[in-house]
């Protein structure tokens, strides 16, 4: 089948539902990172084109899709639990179709487990097979055929339909896969090698998003700083940012994720010079100990990391800095953990995403000696939160009484009368305002600071 074959199967599905006069409903549930959120938007785009409507209630759905994540054990356990919970629903309604996709499903042992123990699942496939989903779905509906597919399509398929959120926020993938093989991480095994989209395709997509009124565009990739290395033409990530910055209109550009070994002064200079690029850098450091960084195969030192951050602060004094960190990597000593604490205090991050090391089958770290107990790891985790809380709060307090530009994302989860948005630095701001502001920018005076968010009033 040609890779654009999804169009044919979307048509077949559409005809099928038209001929039986049915408006089917799908529940699409997404776990994991923005990459998965973006893939789910394509899955929903294809379902929408095939005639599906959407719902959250599994009892009312004709199709349930779980788009899964494999990055930590906890994420995988939740998925198994949720697939198991569908069993009685499928028993009562055998016409219900169940598809499970995403990173977790690219692993051989997982597909085997689903095949043997979760026999009510109809379709299982990895992240590179999104374009084949309409075919699997059609064959399941029409012929009762089950699909378990782990093949990888390295080609980038452009132009698939996308059903984006309606709040003016858009994800744009610039590259797929990862070549870094950090020793703890499963991502390179489940998302394949680095593949960059052509700059022209990215710019065209961004231009049409801006034209359609999208205001907050986030560029996605596991390691965006190595964008373009696999393309002829010499366009690197900084060049791409500059080109996107040239698109006319009032919008913000952000990007995740950067890797310290590939984050260049050229990129930081470009950020500083481009007015639409948010002054926000998410630069995972993982550990403050050079011994641990080496064992993680991160290929930079704590000193190199700190000097990059110093350069970024020098060029953009108001930059918001966030990072990922792992505690309890196999063999991490107390003294090595203290190096992580030291680095956090030195850099003063605005926010930190802290993870306890989770063993991933098939990665090099999974066979490393790990004498540290779970209790010790938990203590280190708690300690790190104690360190970062006052730092985050202090950095938020710098915005007190200032008027900031906020992209309005929607209403607050806890209070429907309150709007919620993000600053350029990615900080959450709650404030009272008209719902017509959603999807656009507002200017808000900050009147209150909490550890993880801000509150204010429109001006
Ligand atoms: N490509 C991105 C994101 C990778 S996954 C990057 O390199 O930053 C997001 C975060 O999950 C990682 O930064 C890391 O901190 C964490 N992570 C990945 N594998 C993990 C594991 N096995 N155990 C605990 N945390 C992990
Ligand atoms: Fe995983 Fe490292 Fe690649 Fe990030 S850069 S996805 S942590 S292997
Ligand atoms: Fe999870 Fe895959 Fe993202 S493993 S973190 S959903 S790339």
Q: What angle do CA 100, 45, 439 make, to 5 degrees?
A: 115
Domain count of the fold of the chain: 3
Residue from 259, 254, 188, 186 nearest 227 by CA: 259
Q: Which atom of ligand 1 is nearest to the CA of 178?
A: 1
What whole-number distance in Å separates Cα of residue 41 and Cα of residue 107? 23
Alpha-carbon distance values, 149 to 40, 124, 129, 239 (Å):
18, 6, 8, 37
Which of 103, 177, 182, 188 has the most ligand 3 atoms within 8 A of CB, as the residue to mutate? 103
Looking at the fold, whether 360 and 241 belong to one and the same domain comes out as: yes
Q: Domain check: are 338 and 414 in the same one?
A: no
On whether both 317 and 334 belong to a single domain, the answer is: yes
Indicate whether 356 and 232 sit together in one domain.
yes
User: Do residues 410 and 393 share a domain?
Assistant: no
Q: What is the CATH classification number for the domain harbouring 302?
A: 3.80.30.20
The 147-149 sheet, strands edge to edge: 53-54, 25-30, 63-68, 97-102, 123-125, 147-149
Residue 408 lies in a domain: yes
Q: Is the CB of 363 under 6 A from ligand 2?
A: no
> Which of 397, 415, 432 finishes a domain?
397
Shared domain for 99 and 173, answered yes or no, is no
Q: Are residues 368 and 295 in the same domain?
A: yes
CATH code of the domain in which 454 resides: 2.40.50.140
Q: Is the CB of 260 under 6 A from ligand 2?
A: no
Domain final position from 397, 414, 449: 397
Mean pLDDT of 46-61: 97
Is the per-residue pLDDT at 398 higher than 60? Answer: yes
- 132 C-beta closer than 6 A to ligand 2: no
- What is the extent of the structural domain holding 212? 169-397
Read out DSSP for 322-362?
Answer: EEEEEE--TT--HHHHHHHHHHHHHHT-SEEEEEE----TT
Q: Does 158 reside within a domain?
A: no
Can you give 59-93 as a three-state secondary structure string? Answer: CCCCEEEEEECCCCHHHHHHHHHHHHCCHHHHHHC
Q: At 97, which CATH number?
A: 3.40.50.280
Q: 189 with 335, same domain?
A: yes
| CA–CA dist 197, 173 (Å, integer) | 8
Q: Cβ(185) to ligand 3 under 6 A? A: no
Ligand 3 atom at minimal distance to the Cα of residue 33? 3
Is the pLDDT assigned to residue 3 strictly greater than 60? Answer: no
Is 162 a domain residue? Answer: no
Residue nearest to atom 3 of ligand 3 (CA): 33
Instruction: Please check whether residue 160 lies inside any domain of the structure.
Output: no
Give the per-residue pLDDT at 10: 97
Tokens of 288: 């403050």
The reply to whether 258 and 137 lie within a common domain is no
Residue 163 lies in a domain: no
Q: Do 425 and 296 belong to one domain?
A: no
Task: State whether the beta carbon of 32 lies less than 6 angstroms from ligand 3.
Answer: yes
Q: Please check whether residues 134 and 203 belong to one and the same domain.
A: no
The rounded distance, in Å, linking the Cα atoms of 31 and 74 is: 11
- Percent of the chain's residues with pLDDT above 70: 99
98 vs 85: CA distance, rounded Å: 12
Mapped onto helix, strand or coil, the DSSP state of residue 214 is coil
CA of 39, nearest ligand number = 3
Q: What does the alpha-carbon distance between residue 450 and residue 454 come to, in Å, rounded to a whole number?
A: 6
Query: Ligand 1 centre from 224 Cα, in Å?
Result: 15
For 318-348, the pLDDT digits (tens) are 999 999 999 999 999 999 999 999 999 999 9
The SS3 of residue 267 is helix
Same domain, 79 and 57: yes
In a domain, 164, yes or no: no
- How many whole angstroms from 127 Cα to the centroid of ligand 3? 9
Residue 71 near ligand 3, beta carbon < 6 Å: yes
State which of 185, 222, 351 you would mutate to test the pocket of ligand 1, scoring each by most atoms of that ligand within 8 A of its C-beta. Answer: 185
In a domain, 161, yes or no: no
Contact 252, 215 (CB under 8 A): yes
pLDDT, tens only, 81-137: 999 999 999 999 999 999 999 999 999 999 999 999 999 999 999 999 999 999 999
User: pLDDT at residue 1 above 50?
Assistant: no
- Ligand 2 within 6 A of CB of 111: no
Whether 187 shows a pLDDT value over 90: the answer reads: yes
Judge whether 156 lies within some domain: no
Ligand located closest to 256 CA: 1
């Amino acid at each position: 089948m040609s890779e654009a074959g999804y169009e044919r199967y979307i048509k077949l599905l559409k005809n099928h539902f038209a001929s039986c006069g049915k408006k089917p409903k799908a529940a699409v549930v997404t776990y994991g990172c923005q990459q998965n959120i973006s893939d789910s938007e394509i899955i929903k785009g294809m379902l929408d084109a095939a005639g599906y409507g959407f719902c959250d209630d599994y009892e009312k759905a004709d199709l349930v899709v779980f788009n899964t994540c494999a990055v930590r054990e906890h994420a995988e356990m939740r998925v198994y639990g949720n697939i198991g919970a569908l069993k009685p629903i499928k028993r009562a309604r055998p016409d219900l179709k169940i598809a499970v996709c995403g990173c977790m499903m690219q692993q051989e042992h997982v597909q085997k487990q689903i095949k043997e123990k979760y026999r009510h699942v109809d379709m299982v496939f990895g992240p590179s097979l999104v374009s084949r989903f309409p075919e699997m779905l059609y064959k399941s509906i029409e012929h009762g055929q089950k699909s378990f597919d782990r093949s990888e399509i390295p080609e980038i398929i452009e132009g698939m339909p996308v059903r984006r959120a309606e709040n003016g926020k858009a994800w744009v993938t610039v590259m797929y896969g990862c070549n870094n093989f950090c020793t703890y991480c499963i991502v390179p095994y489940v998302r394949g090698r680095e593949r960059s989209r052509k700059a022209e395709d990215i710019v065209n997509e961004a231009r049409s998003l801006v034209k359609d009124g999208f205001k907050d565009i986030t560029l996605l990739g596991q390691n965006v700083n190595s964008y373009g290395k696999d393309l002829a033409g010499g366009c690197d990530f900084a060049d791409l940012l500059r080109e996107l910055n040239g698109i006319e209109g009032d919008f913000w550009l952000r990007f995740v994720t950067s890797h310290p070994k590939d984050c260049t002064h050229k990129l930081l200079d470009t950020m500083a010079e481009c007015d639409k690029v948010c002054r926000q850098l998410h630069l995972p450091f993982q550990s403050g100990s050079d011994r641990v960084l080496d064992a993680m195969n991160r290929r930079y030192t704590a000193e190199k990391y700190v000097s990059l951050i110093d350069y970024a602060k020098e060029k953009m004094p108001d930059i918001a800095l966030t990072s990922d960190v792992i505690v309890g990597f196999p063999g991490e000593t107390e003294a090595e953990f203290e190096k992580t604490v030291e680095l956090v205090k030195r850099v003063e991050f605005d926010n930190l995403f802290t993870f306890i090391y989770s063993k991933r089958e098939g990665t090099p770290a999974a066979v490393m000696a790990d004498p540290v107990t779970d209790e010790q790891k938990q203590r280190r985790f708690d300690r790190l939160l104690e360190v970062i809380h006052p730092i985050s709060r202090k950095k938020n307090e710098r915005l007190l009484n200032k008027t900031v530009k906020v992209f309005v994302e929607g209403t607050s989860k806890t209070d429907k009368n309150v709007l919620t948005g993000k600053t350029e630095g990615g900080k959450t701001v709650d404030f009272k305002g008209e719902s017509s502001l959603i999807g656009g920018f507002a200017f808000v005076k900050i009147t209150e600071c909490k550890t993880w968010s801000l509150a204010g009033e429109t001006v």
